[in-house]
Amino acid sequence: MSTAEKKKEFTFGQKGALLLLAICICVFFSVRTGGLFIGGQNIKNILVSASLNGIIGIGMTFVLITGGIDLSVTGNIIMTSLFISQMMVNGIPWILCLLAALLIGTLVGVINGLAVGKFQMVAFVVTMAMNSITTGIGKLYTDGMTLYGFPKNHEIFNKALFGILPGSVLMMAAVAILAAVILKYTDYGRKLYAVGGNSRAAWMSGIRTSTVVTLAYIISGFLCGMGAILMTSKLMSASSTMISGTEMDAIAAAVLGGTSLAGGIGSVTGTILGAITIAMITNGLNLMGVSPFAQEICKGVIIFAVVAIDAIQKRRQAEN
Which pLDDT score is estimated for 13? 58
d(CA 304, CA 12): 21
Mean pLDDT of all residues belonging to the chain:
91
For residue 121, pLDDT beyond 90: yes
d(CA 282, CA 277): 9
State the average pLDDT over residues 304-313: 75
Q: Which amino acid makes up residue 126?
A: V
Which pLDDT score is estimated for 159? 86
Nearest in space to 192 (alpha carbons), one of 167, 217, 226: 217
For residue 3, pLDDT beyond 90: no
Nearest in space to 196 (alpha carbons), one of 64, 309, 11: 64
Which pLDDT score is estimated for 8? 43
d(CA 291, CA 283): 12
For residue 22, pLDDT beyond 90: no
Which pLDDT score is estimated for 7? 47
DSSP string, 202-217: HHHTT--HHHHHHHHH
291 CB-side CA count, 13 A: 3
d(CA 212, CA 199): 10
- Domain spanning 10-319, CATH architecture: Orthogonal Bundle (1.10)
Contact 78, 53 (CB under 8 A): no
DSSP string, 142-195: HTT--EE---GGGGGGGSEETTTEEHHHHHHHHHHHHHHHHHHHSHHHHHHHHH
90 CB-side CA count, 13 A: 10
Which pLDDT score is estimated for 320? 66
- What's the pTM? 0.93
For residue 10, pLDDT beyond 50: no
DSSP string, 287-307: HTT--HHHHHHHHHHHHHHHH
Which pLDDT score is estimated for 14? 66
d(CA 228, CA 224): 6
At 2, the pLDDT band (50, 70, 90 cuts) reads: very low
Nearest in space to 69 (alpha carbons), one of 11, 129, 128, 111: 128
DSSP string, 84-125: HHHHHHTT--HHHHHHHHHHHHHHHHHHHHIIIIIS---HHH
Which pLDDT score is estimated for 311? 77
Higher pLDDT, 38 or 313: 38
